[in-house]
Chain A
Amino acid sequence: MAEHSHAADADHDHDHGPPQGWRRWVYCTNHKDIGTMYLIFACTAFFIGGAMAMVIRLELFQPGMQFVDPQLFNSMTTMHALIMIFGAVMPAWTGLANWMIPMQIGAPDMALPRLNNLSFWILPFAFTLLLSSLFVPGGAPAGGWTMYPPLMLQTGASFPMLIFSVHLMGASSILGAINVIVTIMNLRAPGIGLLRMPLFVWTWLITAYLLIAVMPVLAGAVTMLLTDHFFGTTFFTAAGGGDPVMFQHIFWFFGHPEVYILILPAFGVVSEIIPTFARKPLFGYEAMVYATASIAFLSFIVWAHHMFTVGMPLAAQLFFMLSTMLIAIPTGVKVFNWTATLYKGSISFEPPMLFALAFLFLFTIGGFSGLMLAIVPADYQYQDTYFVVAHFHYVLVPGSIFAIMGAVYYWLPKWTGKMYDLKLATWHFWLSTIFVNVLFFPQHFLGLAGMPRRVPDYAVQFTDWNMVSSIGGFGFGLAQFLFPYIIWKCVKSGQLIKEPKAWEGAHGLEWELPSPAPYHSWTTPPSDAIIARGAEH
């Protein structure tokens, strides 16, 4: 049997190119092709979720009901969140992990290629199901992405579609996470110890552990929601002895680590980009690793800060307030280390660096407003206002999404062997950065003035800042069309780069491979000399 499998392996050992036509994508087991499919999927979801955001901003441009009815408005906020989180940001990170992890650890591919194919191909079905809920009687889910009962239990025909699609997306994420962990633990080239791995690999390893810990909890929670709806259980129904607040506890036990699932890989990307363009090694590599692990650990013991106002003992409020504030310490370590890396660096401002620097400033603003929200008495004022909306959008848009765009601009020349239009990408950066602030900064003012979130109409005193915010939203939305155009133009007619390194300050094993990267990354493990050169952090 063993001999047989060796013979079968030998058949696949030669370096073959991709199969042609649709088979290349449907039967695909190559980490780069799967990474590409993930990224295209994420980009598509980004524009669909973005279109929903445009509907929201259009309706909120002025008070009164203009374009959509309240039911559809609530569906838009719910679906926008679900699509952006599960369809855009998470698949984008998985795509980047697929592309970069094998290249960065000296492996030929992911450890479980068929599982990789499965975890991608679950996604289009999950999303078709979720999106088609827009067209069933009663409309798409409208109770918010947090799915709180009892409101969520009133959803019409789209309810089981939502639950099943969340299950599928969760399964896809768990399978992807298993693959990432197994790849990193087993396929590192000899000589690449854990503390010689690039930060992007480290942050993804920790993210993958978060995923396998919390996705099953989400699956359990939505299963109970399903049985409450269809099978007469009363887990969350007070009339039958259940507890609706229990759902909030369970949801946020998943939901808070989920926030870090969306942001930790961004920390990894920024830790790759800043040293390259500051032309200095990353300041405090090991501190960065331990800070990431600390943030991941703390993410499990802060969940109730999302629900201070439901009524909980003072001791619990104090515990969750203080544990939340503790997160500022490892996050501060990161921000100061990035700043120290920049100090006295020979800095240049190519598009990936611009996105990384904007991340550094704007993510920190989101972090500070998070600290404000962590303070219990203050949170009683901020709860469910636009201040919260401003906070998490600062963390997720100029945080996660800017880091994803920075990562694409950083590694695109390696993927394609071509340089993109730097001038156009710089335009993309400046338009995005200006409009993202016009879009989200006024929402702090609206929230502090008392405007509630998830409402299609508002009192007239909120009009001015809502108009400004909507103008920012339209500008940001339009500017994003530059992104796929720049990538398409690069693939079609980008200037060929001859060197393996697209950026002179770049370090890492991926930059030791030729450009474009070969179909199988490291069929021969990198030599000690290459590892020593590539592993300078």
Chain B
Amino acid sequence: MEQGASAMSEQPPRGAQGEPGQARPTAPDRRRIRNTTVLVSLIALAFYVGFIIMMLMRAIR
């Protein structure tokens, strides 16, 4: 498969969510999930806050 090389390089770290064919660890990698959640929420918040600041600046001007 042509895309094999790039696919391999983008694999999540093996073991983070269990080995193939093995039972999953009792807790998923919570720290990673939390970090991604915070990051994505911050992106949404940045759009909201940035937008409001932009509008307020325009209103003040």
The proximity string for B residues 4-15 relative to A, scoring 1 for CB distances below 8 Å and 0 otherwise, is: 001111111111
**In whole Å, how far is A345's beta carbon from the nearest beta carbon of chain B?**
20
Which of A5-13, A71-79, A328-336, A471-479 interfaces with chain B?
A5-13
Q: Which residues 227-278 in A have Cβ within 8 Å of B in the complex?
A: 233, 235, 242, 246, 250
Known contacts: A186-B33, A190-B11, A217-B51. The answer to whether A178 contacts B18 by CB under 8 A is no
Chain B residues near A20 (CB, 8 Å)? none
A523 contacts partner chain B, Cβ-Cβ < 8 Å: yes
Chain A residues near B33 (CB, 8 Å)? 111-112, 182, 186
Grouping DSSP codes into helix (H, G, I), strand (E, B) and loop, the A interface class, with mixed when no group exceeds half, is: helix
Interchain CA distance A178-B47 in the complex, whole Å:
14
Q: Are A178 and B55 in contact, CB atoms less than 8 angstroms apart?
A: no
Interface size on B (CB < 8 Å)? 42
Known contacts: A196-B3, A216-B44. The answer to whether A6 contacts B27 by CB under 8 A is yes
The proximity string for A residues 182-223 relative to B, scoring 1 for CB distances below 8 Å and 0 otherwise, is: 100111111111111000000000000000111111011001
Q: Are B11 and A13 in contact, CB atoms less than 8 angstroms apart?
A: no
The proximity string for A residues 49-80 relative to B, scoring 1 for CB distances below 8 Å and 0 otherwise, is: 00000000000000000000000000000000
Chain B residues near A35 (CB, 8 Å)? none
Q: Are A524 and B7 in contact, CB atoms less than 8 angstroms apart?
A: no
Q: Are A191 and B55 in contact, CB atoms less than 8 angstroms apart?
A: no
**In whole Å, how far is B39's beta carbon from the nearest beta carbon of chain A?**
9
Nearest B residue to A217 via CB reads: B51
Q: Are B48 and A219 in contact, CB atoms less than 8 angstroms apart?
A: yes
A285 contacts partner chain B, Cβ-Cβ < 8 Å: yes
Q: Are A215 and B44 in contact, CB atoms less than 8 angstroms apart?
A: yes
Known contacts: A193-B11, A195-B6, A220-B48. The answer to whether A186 contacts B40 by CB under 8 A is no
Interchain CA distance A451-B12 in the complex, whole Å:
55
Q: Are B32 and A186 in contact, CB atoms less than 8 angstroms apart?
A: yes
**In whole Å, how far is B5's beta carbon from the nearest beta carbon of chain A?**
10
Which of A119-127, A494-502, A526-534 interfaces with chain B?
A526-534
Q: Which residues 487-537 in A have Cβ within 8 Å of B in the complex?
A: 523-528, 531
Out of B11, B44, B52, name the residue touching A191 (CB < 8 Å).
Answer: B11
Out of B22, B26, B41, B45, name the residue touching A6 (CB < 8 Å).
Answer: B26
A181 contacts partner chain B, Cβ-Cβ < 8 Å: yes
Known contacts: A195-B7, A525-B19. The answer to whether A188 contacts B24 by CB under 8 A is no
Interchain CA distance A487-B2 in the complex, whole Å:
40
Chain B residues near A223 (CB, 8 Å)? 52
A291 contacts partner chain B, Cβ-Cβ < 8 Å: no
Out of B2, B19, B23, B47, name the residue touching A190 (CB < 8 Å).
Answer: B19
Known contacts: A235-B59, A527-B20. The answer to whether A178 contacts B44 by CB under 8 A is yes
Out of B13, B40, B59, name the residue touching A178 (CB < 8 Å).
Answer: B40
Interchain CA distance A285-B51 in the complex, whole Å:
36
Known contacts: A233-B59, A524-B18. The answer to whether A182 contacts B40 by CB under 8 A is yes
Chain A residues near B2 (CB, 8 Å)? 286
A224 contacts partner chain B, Cβ-Cβ < 8 Å: yes
Known contacts: A9-B27, A111-B28, A186-B28. The answer to whether A191 contacts B20 by CB under 8 A is yes
Q: Are B17 and A213 in contact, CB atoms less than 8 angstroms apart?
A: no
Chain A residues near B24 (CB, 8 Å)? 108, 523-525
Known contacts: A13-B26, A523-B24, A525-B21. The answer to whether A196 contacts B7 by CB under 8 A is yes
**In whole Å, how far is A224's beta carbon from the nearest beta carbon of chain B?**
6
Chain B residues near A219 (CB, 8 Å)? 48
Q: Are B40 and A181 in contact, CB atoms less than 8 angstroms apart?
A: yes
Interchain CA distance A10-B55 in the complex, whole Å:
49
The 7 sampled A-B contact pairs (Cβ below 8 Å) are A181-B36, A186-B16, A191-B11, A212-B40, A213-B44, A215-B44, A220-B52
- The 8 residue pairs across chains A and B that have the minimum distance between CB atoms: A216-B48, A193-B7, A527-B21, A193-B10, A212-B44, A216-B47, A220-B51, A9-B26
B positions within 8 Å CB-CB of A: 2-3, 6-24, 26-30, 32-33, 36-37, 40-41, 43-45, 47-48, 51-52, 55, 58-59
Given contact pairs A187-B28, A193-B9, A216-B48, enumerate 19 new A-B contacts (beta carbons under 8 Å): A5-B30, A111-B28, A174-B44, A181-B36, A186-B28, A187-B17, A190-B12, A191-B11, A193-B10, A195-B10, A219-B48, A223-B52, A246-B58, A286-B3, A524-B24, A525-B24, A526-B20, A526-B21, A528-B20
